[in-house]
Amino acid sequence: MARLALNDPWVRWLPNGLMVLALVTALAVGAAGPLYRFELVGLGEAFSVMRAGAVAAVAVSVLGLVVLALVLRRPEGRWRCIVALVLAAPAFLGPFSMARTAGQVPPIHDITTDTENPPVFEVLAERRDAGENSATYPGDSVARQQREAYPDIRPLTLEVSPGRAFELSRAVAQATGWRIAAADEGEGRLEAVAVTPWWGFRDDVVIRVRPAAGGSRVDVRSASRVGVSDLGQNAQRIRDFQQRLLRRLRG
């Protein structure tokens, strides 16, 4: 029976077909972000493409393991199955990781170091489209969820003048690749846009510098223009900014 199975034409061609299908699923998942970034499809359609690719990748992986067991003694078929599995794995592991993260963080997308008196978007508020998230801070419900999920997101106090703190903040924002939209040293307010590399999501950032005992207080707010959950990206952006700011201050 094993010999007959190994000699069947479908057994010989299945590894090739699986490799092609795996490549298609990987391309579908990988292309979802750029398709949205370059405005070829809407966000909902892009997520649908990614989900379909991920589901297909799971099916290809399961079938690939079955076929691999059948063609284990055929070197060419064996390696093609392995290639198919290698291509399919990231296609479903990436979306699975995103879904897992979404279940671990609160469904919020506006994070700030000052939930009682958050920095205000002025210039960037006018650049948001009607269908995008509001630039107005959501309020107590979001603040409570943020405090529970990200208790480390707090203001940063620096032992330098407000002018120096503002200068350092602007330098860090520029070095990070953010697009500066407004910089008013007199008001101690800097607004910038952070663009994510793959999907091209535009998240707005406002930095506020105020005098404080012994130096300056730097508050940051990062908010997504689209989506409900930011998967923790805005909180991480604030952490990264604060760490870079401290390194630049000490360097």
Give the pLDDT confidence of 76-114 residue by residue, as tens digits: 788 889 999 999 999 999 999 999 999 999 999 999 999
pTM of the model: 0.90
Domain enclosing residue 117, as ranges:
110-250
The number of beta carbons lying within 10 Å of the beta carbon of residue 183 is 17
d(CA 119, CA 223): 11
Overall domain count for the chain: 2
User: CA 102 to CA 154: how far, in whole Å?
Assistant: 23
- Is the domain of 157 the same as that of 80? no
Mark which of 76, 104, 132 sits at the end of a domain: 104
Question: Which of 104, 137, 168 is the C-terminal boundary of a domain?
Answer: 104
The pLDDT tens digits for 159-212 are 999 999 999 999 999 999 999 999 999 999 999 999 999 999 999 999 999 999
Question: CA 23 to CA 30: how far, in whole Å?
Answer: 10
Same domain for 9 and 70: yes
Q: Which residues, 6+ apart, have CB-to-CB distance to 223 below 8 Å? A: 109, 110, 111, 121, 133, 135, 203, 204, 205, 234
75/58 same-domain check? yes
